[in-house]
């Protein structure tokens, strides 16, 4: 794991928005190619060392559609050793969508994948350094959130998923109790940034609402967030303030462990 990069806000926002569109294109493709199981089930992607993309699509010879941010390409592959890259730099989302549909036909994909909404004329013009920084923070966070996910034994948890619509990599944890007919739960994940926090941040949110939040233990560098949702947040600035990967990992791991334990304890004291 490399050090988390020092991100400059305006540059990162531009980079994140462009990769967000790519994630939505890939997510929409997967939604069409697999059978639905539950609400939004077909939309989620995986984060891997290489970037982000679909899980294996068994119906099409274990087809995978992924994006390597640091290489600025979409990659299409299957279990027959067929492989095709699509360069995304210097192209519009419309051009990328059209090229993807053409390539998928060579993989015997004849479904009508509706990508016409990606008709933006804005070019994907992320430079290699900014793309590599985006890739590093995405992969670093994914490793840490997956390690934390593995260590949870109580309750019921979903798998870690990258959701293209909000562009966050997260899982849900359920205590097993219902409060006023609603499942008591936490959402634990990494946002790639939004209108409130431009840079990536870690969050632990919870529902239904707690009667008191002033007794929650707040980890070093974290804040209590209570605008559109309620939870605990560790902003990216706190990562930047730590100069080595070991210190960066520690502040993240401490945030996840302390926040989860604190909210779980508050759940038992309703």
Domain limits, the chain: 9-105, 137-268
Residue in the structure block whose two tokens are 């939604």: 31
Q: Quick one: pLDDT at residue 39?
A: 58
Give the number of C-alpha atoms closer than 13 A to the C-alpha of residue 80, restricted to the C-beta side.
10
Backbone angle region of 201, left / alpha / beta, with phi > 0 → left and psi within -120 to 50 → alpha: beta
pLDDT category at 270 given cuts 50, 70, 90 is confident
pLDDT category at 261 given cuts 50, 70, 90 is very high
Listed in order, strand segments (DSSP E) in the chain are 46-48, 51-53, 64-68, 73-77, 83-87, 156-157, 161-163, 168-179, 182-191, 201-207, 223-226, 230-235
Contacts of 57 (CB under 8 A, 6+ apart): 30, 33, 34, 63, 64, 65
Least confident of 4-8, 38-42, 171-175: 38-42
CB burial class (10 A; 0-12, 13-18, 19+) of residue 97? buried
**37: pLDDT strictly greater than 80:** no
Q: Quick one: pLDDT at residue 43?
A: 77
Q: How confident is the model over 197-254, as pLDDT tens digits?
A: 999 999 999 999 998 898 999 999 999 999 889 999 999 999 999 999 999 999 999 9
pLDDT category at 41 given cuts 50, 70, 90 is low
Contact yes or no for 162/23 (Cβ under 8 A): yes
pTM, 2 dp: 0.94
- Across the range 154-163, mean pLDDT stands at 96
């Amino acid at each position: 794991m490399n050090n988390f990069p020092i991100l400059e806000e305006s540059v990162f926002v531009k980079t994140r928005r462009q990769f967000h569109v790519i994630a939505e294109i890939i997510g929409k493709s997967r939604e069409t190619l697999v059978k639905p199981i539950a609400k939004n089930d077909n939309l989620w992607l995986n984060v891997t060392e290489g970037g982000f993309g679909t899980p294996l699509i068994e119906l099409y010879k274990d087809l995978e559609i992924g994006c390597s941010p640091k290489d600025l390409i979409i990659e299409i592959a299957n279990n027959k050793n067929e492989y095709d890259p699509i360069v995304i730099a210097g192209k519009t989302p419309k051009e990328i969508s059209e090229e993807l549909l053409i390539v998928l036909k060579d993989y015997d994909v004849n479904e009508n994948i509706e990508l016409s909404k990606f008709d933006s004329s804005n070019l994907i013009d992320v430079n290699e350094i900014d793309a590599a920084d985006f890739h590093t923070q995405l992969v670093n966070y994914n490793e840490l959130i997956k390690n934390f996910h593995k260590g949870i034994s109580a309750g019921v948890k979903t798998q870690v998923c990258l959701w293209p619509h909000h562009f966050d990599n997260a899982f849900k944890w359920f205590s097993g109790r219902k409060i006023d007919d609603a499942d008591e739960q936490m959402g634990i994940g990494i946002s790639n940034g939004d209108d409130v926090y431009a840079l990536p941040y870690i969050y632990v949110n919870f529902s239904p609402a707690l009667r008191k939040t002033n007794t929650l233990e707040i980890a070093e560098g974290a804040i209590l967030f209570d605008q559109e949702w309620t939870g605990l947040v560790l902003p990216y600035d706190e990562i930047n303030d730590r100069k080595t990967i070991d210190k960066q990992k520690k502040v993240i791991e401490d945030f996840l462990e302390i926040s989860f334990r604190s909210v779980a304890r508050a759940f038992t004291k309703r």
